[in-house]
Amino acid sequence: MDMLLGVVVMLVKMAVVLGVALGLAAYMILLERKLLGRFQVRYGPNRVGYFGLLQPLADGLKMLLKEDIIPDGVDRRIFLVAPAVVAGTALAAFAVVPFGDGLTLFGHRVPQVVVDSNVGLLLVLALSSLAVYGLALGAWTSDNKYSLLGGIRGAAQMISYELALGLSLVPVVMHARSLSLSDIVAAQAGLPFALLEPVAFVIFIIGSLAETKRVPFDLPEAENELQAGFHTEYSGMRFALFFVGEYVNMVLLGAVTAIFFLGGWHGPFLPPIVWLALKVLAVPVFLIWTRASLPRLRYDQLMALGWKVLIPLALLNILVTGALLAAGV
Helix, strand or coil, per DSSP, at residue 109: strand
DSSP character for 297?
Answer: P
Size of the site for another protein (CB under 8 A): 61
Q: Does 102 bind another protein (CB under 8 A)?
A: no
User: Which among 128, 87, 82, 85 is positioned nearest to 232, based on CA atoms?
Assistant: 82
Q: How far is the CB of 102 from another protein (least distance, A)?
A: 40
Build a one-symbol-per-residue string for 184-203: x at contacts with another protein by CB under 8 A, - elsewhere: --------------------
- Rule CB under 8 A: which of 14-53 touch another protein? 33, 36-37, 39-48, 52
Q: Does 55 bind another protein (CB under 8 A)?
A: yes
CB nearer to another protein: pick between 37 and 272: 37
Select the residue interacting with another protein from 69, 189, 191, 309 (CB under 8 A): 69
Select the residue interacting with another protein from 190, 268, 295, 328 (CB under 8 A): 295
Q: How far is the CB of 144 from another protein (least distance, A)?
A: 9
- Rule CB under 8 A: which of 231-250 touch another protein? 231-236, 239
Backbone angles phi, psi at 105, to 5 degrees: -115, 125
User: Which among 88, 87, 109, 114 is positioned nearest to 99, based on CA atoms?
Assistant: 114
Select the residue interacting with another protein from 218, 250, 257, 280 (CB under 8 A): 218
CA dihedral 240, 246, 252, 254 (to 10 degrees): -130
109, β-bridge pairs: 104
Q: Which long-range contacts (CB under 8 A, 24 or more apart) does 192-198 make?
A: 192/261, 192/262, 192/263, 192/266, 193/260, 193/261, 193/262, 193/263, 194/261, 194/262, 194/263, 197/171, 197/172, 197/261, 197/317, 197/321
Distance CA 268, CA 278 (A): 13
Stretch that binds another protein, among 175-183, 245-253, 296-304, 320-328 (CB under 8 A): 296-304
Q: Note the residues at the interface with another protein (CB under 8 A).
A: 33, 36-37, 39-48, 52, 54-55, 57-63, 65-69, 145-146, 149, 153, 215-216, 218-219, 222-228, 231-236, 239, 291-301
